[in-house]
Amino acid sequence: MKLVNFLVTTLLFATITVSAEPLIINPSNKASPATVTGMAFKNAVGGNWYQAKDCEDALTTFKNSKDAVMIYNSSIDFAARNKNINCSLQGVTAQQVVFVGYTYVNICRKPGSAADLNSNKVTLGMASMYAVTKHEKNFSTAGANVKLVPYGGSQEIVTAVRAGDIDLGWIGTGMAKKQGANLDCIYSTDPSAANFLGKKLNLAIPNFQITYVVYTNSTDAQLVEQLRTAYKNKEFGEFLNTSDTITNWTVRQKDIDEVNGYVNKMQINWAD
């Protein structure tokens, strides 16, 4: 009888404590701020990491995997739309979303440089998906003589700015912050910043941000709760703070609609 009670207790304990392992799916390239955020989230909640080839591969893997978590990136969605590929949040409900996060970017130069966004021609390094003719014309119309130069991501842009290969760099806030005195960041796309880009130029999207929507297809209540309380993890909380990632953990459908609307605005104003 004691043996039976022991076995029952053990089974109940296992049922209570053992939860599924999430599969964290990342459609962004390795140099993207979204990848860094996704990896920090993965470290907080555990599970496995899947580096997708592209957003279509990511969506297929998400659809065919149990307890999967998608690290949606608004910039990847924008780039996909330019290729007539649907990688949007269409069909995603607020109940599936763990959190929405976003970061702004800085425009930085090498310390000691006088490069600025004015009538003197400058080169501005930018992730290739944004460095398009229509976006360049936005700057020109606003009065800045800028040549956009495509790069793979913020890390490459930092290297190019510091080497003097380009005059200015469009760099994720978290990455720029890590450089300290090695960069002189003269503008920010954060509307609350004293050096807000919108105060200098009347651009179509002066408040540019990279938005992440982390959502899951899991029906495991314990796992979903684990995902939705990742902010309690000390290391992840510190990451969000140091990377200047702003998060919303009580997501409503209107928040998802706003992300879709923002990407639509990017498409209208930047897509060639």
- Segment 81-121, tens digit of pLDDT: 888 898 999 999 999 999 999 999 999 999 999 999 998 99
Assigned CATH for 22-103+209-270:
3.40.190.150
* Band (7; pLDDT cuts 50, 70, 90): very low
CB of 23 within 8 A of CB of 65?
yes
pLDDT over 90 (residue 16): no
CB of 27 within 8 A of CB of 54?
yes
State how beta strands 168-172 and 122-127 pair. parallel
Q: What does the block give as tokens for 213?
A: 């929507």
Q: What does the block give as tokens for 181?
A: 């005195």
CB of 129 within 8 A of CB of 80?
no
- Segment 212-271, tens digit of pLDDT: 999 999 999 999 999 999 999 999 999 999 999 999 999 999 999 999 999 999 999 998
Q: What are the angstrom distances between the C-alpha of 237 and each of 74, 97, 242?
A: 22, 18, 9
Strand ranges in 23-94 using DSSP code E only, listed in sequence order: 23-26, 48-51, 68-73
- Segment 121-160, tens digit of pLDDT: 999 999 998 999 999 999 999 999 999 999 988 889 999 9
Q: What does the block give as tokens for 87?
A: 């990688």
Assigned CATH for 105-199:
3.40.190.10
Q: What does the block give as tokens for 169?
A: 């760099």
Average of pLDDT values for 22-40?
91
CB of 50 within 8 A of CB of 8?
no
Q: Where are the domains of the chain?
A: 22-103+209-270, 105-199
What pLDDT does residue 1 have?
53
CB of 198 within 8 A of CB of 80?
no
